[in-house]
Amino acid sequence: MELYALIGKPLSHSFSQKYFRDKFRRDEISADYLLCSLERIEDLDTWISSLPLLKGFNITMPYKEQILPYLNDLDLSAKHCANCNCVKMIRHNNTTTLKGYNTDYYGLRLVLEKEFPISAIRKVAVLGSGGAAKTAKAVLKDLQKQYKIVSRNPKQEQGEISYEAFNSEIKDFQLIINATPIGMHPYQNATPNVDFEQLNPQHFVLDLIYNPAATLFLQKAQAKGCNTSNGYTMLCAQAEKAWEIWQNE
């Protein structure tokens, strides 16, 4: 039986195990998908050695960037996004090579092209400056969209802006992407610091969070007439891309 897994900490919010186990059952694939809470990224080699049937794994918070020095090779998607959420293991004789990919890139690009009128969107605000925001930057660059990263501590030399500055120019952004954990456990009752009074039906809002399906951020945006979407399509698309990489590349 082949093994696949997710590493990160904590993993209680993850849908990946259910997603892959349902897929394996439905498609009669003899494989399992494990959730492996890794205390420290330094434990990666020991963890890999303990699972000789492992063929590939996903990476979630907080290791998407920390894993980069442990990889032998990086696909363009991981290089471009400067973080990695999917590793393919190539075992040959007694050596194992780890190649890193970023399948969030494919997932996010698909969502933007499928669920939003992307050609009509000129300027995008990305809330947060972590791994998902870096992926969003790469996708938006490739789609040739103007964008601003909105941060609690903006790195001005990198063009990031504060929430205050964002709220003062909120009407200029057609699409707002929440790439912070605000809205998911333990922040279910909070929203990013957005001035909801200024939102209107011309705004599109994407929350990368998929659990809960409608964060307070999405509920408040919907109440102002915005078109909204959550992170579920992206989650499924990045998982399918990972499966394709593990099977075919």
The conformation of residue 45, written as its DSSP 8-state character, comes to H
Please pick, from the candidates 184, 194, 206, 242, the single residue that binds ligand NAP as defined by CB under 6 A: 184
CB of residue 136 vs ligand NAP: minimum separation in angstroms?
Answer: 9
Burial annotation 154-176 (CB, 10 A radius, 16+ → b, else e) = beeeeebbebeebbeebeebbbb
CB of residue 128 vs ligand NAP: minimum separation in angstroms?
Answer: 3
Which residue carries 């990224």 as its tokens? 41
DSSP letters spanning 135-182 = HHHHHHHHTT-EEEEE-SS--GGGT-B-HHHHHHTGGG-SEEEE-SSB
C-alpha closest to that of 203 among 229, 164, 171, 167: 171
Is residue 131 near ligand NAP by the rule CB under 6 A? Answer: yes
Amino acid at 127: L
Say how far apart CA 113 and CA 201 lie, in whole Å.
19
Answer yes or no: 64 catalytic.
yes
CB of residue 189 vs ligand NAP: minimum separation in angstroms?
Answer: 13
Strands 204-207 and 86-92: unpaired
User: What is residue 189's three-state secondary structure?
Assistant: coil
Annotated catalytic residue within 9, 18, 55, 64: 64
Is residue 107 near ligand NAP by the rule CB under 6 A? Answer: yes
Binding letters toward ligand NAP, positions 12-51, x by CB under 6 A = ----------------------------------------
Strands 2-8 and 31-37: parallel
Q: Which stretch binds ligand NAP (CB under 6 A): 124-132, 138-146, 194-202, 240-248?
A: 124-132
Q: Which stretch binds ligand NAP (CB under 6 A): 3-11, 50-58, 69-77, 175-183?
A: 175-183
Is residue 229 near ligand NAP by the rule CB under 6 A? Answer: no
Is residue 8 near ligand NAP by the rule CB under 6 A? Answer: no
Site residues, ligand NAP (CB under 6 A): 61, 64, 104, 107, 128-133, 151-153, 179-182, 184, 208-210, 231, 234-235, 238
